[in-house]
Amino acid sequence: MNSPTELAPEVRSILESAGERSNADRDRLSVDARSLPDALARAAADGRVPIIAEVKPTSPTADGTRGDDPVELAEAMVDGGAAAISVLTEPDHFGGSAEALERVRAAVDVPVLRKDFVLEERGMDVVEADLLLLIARFVEDLEGLVEAARDRGFQPLVEVHDRGELEDALEAGAEIVGVNNRDLAKLEVDLGTFESLSPHVPDDVTLIAESGVSNPEDVRRMREAGADALLVGSAIMDHDGAGDVTENTRRLTDATQETPNE
Ligand SMILES: O=C(O)c1ccccc1NCC(=O)[C@H](O)[C@H](O)COP(=O)(O)O
């Protein structure tokens, strides 16, 4: 894990609140997960770009907050062709909740990712989800957490940002890897991060490009660099407007060919 002094103050605050939240004793979960690789294959077979659309009410870098009902947002994303949904459950900096995820998962039939800052095993037993995010940079025992997530039935999505974290993820047995284009130490976004790491990811790993995807051109760029799917939040949520979430999603899931006006 990075030394806390190397992290942006917002991220230090997120990690502190994650540490406080994961202390509750809860019953161990057992999940019957919907397969992400199958959902991505279905999208590709339909000619849709595989997009994991994120219900993200706000964030430290967002321009505003969207208070729409999470179920309505998720259904609008699925209508726009999303292959899977990600739901922020972090309450203090992203406006999320476990209850929102529970309601979304009951309402849609695609896989749902729990997007949070799970730092230890007991932080997993909060809400059933098909996928659970583990951020390589922030956990001490990645291999143990990958195993603990699988033991509960979750598909672990291991997020990395540099070559060392990617090696750690592969050594820990990750089968689904997300390359975060957002540097969580500085909160800067660079799509070149995915391009530099993707050649080092084995073909049998499901590879996801995360963060900073704003438009169809970015989608094509990440797909050309080898992304099996893209995780997109802000461009779909449109935090500073009240944009149509279905249209925002469809614009990305349809992004297969150049059009003269883009
Ligand atoms: O999005 C943030 O501002 C943020 C700040 C600090 C830690 C994590 C953050 N985001 C988490 C994510 O990984 C994104 O929500 C996700 O990849 C979607 O990113 P985007 O499409 O750029 O909204």
Condensed to tens digits (0 to 9), the pLDDT of residues 81-96 reads 999 999 999 999 999 9
Position 22 pLDDT exceeds 50: yes
Query: Catalytic one among 22, 59, 86, 180?
Result: 180
Q: What pLDDT is recorded for position 3? A: 60
Residue whose Cα lies nearest atom 16 of ligand 1: it is 211
What is the whole-number distance in angstroms between the Cα of residue 137 and the centre of ligand 1? 15
- Rounded distance, CA 236 to CA 51, Å? 11
Annotated active-site residue 90? The verdict is: no
What is the whole-number distance in angstroms between the Cα of residue 260 and the centre of ligand 1? 30
pLDDT band at 260; cut points 50, 70, 90: very low
**Which CATH number does the domain 4-23+31-253 belong to among 3.30.70.920, 3.30.310.40, 3.90.79.10, 3.20.20.70?**
3.20.20.70
- Two tokens, residue 14: 């997120």
What is the whole-number distance in angstroms between the Cα of residue 187 and the centre of ligand 1? 9
Angle at CA of residue 84, ends 82 and 86, nearest 5°: 110
Annotated active-site residue 211? The verdict is: yes
- Rounded distance, CA 250 to CA 234, Å? 14
Q: What pLDDT is recorded for position 258? A: 55
Residues 185, 186, 187, 193: is their CA dihedral positive or negative? negative
Annotated active-site residue 56? The verdict is: yes
pLDDT band at 248; cut points 50, 70, 90: very high
Please enumerate in sequence order all residues whose Cβ is within 8 A of that of 9, keeping only pairs 6 or more positions apart, or say none: none
Q: What is the pLDDT of residues 45-76, one digit of tens each?
A: 999 999 999 999 999 999 899 999 999 999 99
Annotated active-site residue 75? The verdict is: no
Is there a contact between 55 and 74 (Cβ–Cβ < 8 Å)?
Answer: yes
Query: Catalytic one among 181, 198, 211, 248?
Result: 211
Residue whose Cα lies nearest atom 12 of ligand 1: it is 211
What is the whole-number distance in angstroms between the Cα of residue 235 and the centre of ligand 1? 11
pTM: 0.95
Q: Provide mean pLDDT across the span 211-215.
A: 98
Is there a contact between 177 and 158 (Cβ–Cβ < 8 Å)?
Answer: yes
Residues lining ligand 1, Cβ inside 6 A:
10-11, 14, 54, 56, 59-61, 180, 182, 184, 187, 210-213, 231-235
Give the chain's mean pLDDT: 94
Q: What pLDDT is recorded for position 24? A: 67
Q: Provide mean pLDDT across the span 206-224.
A: 98
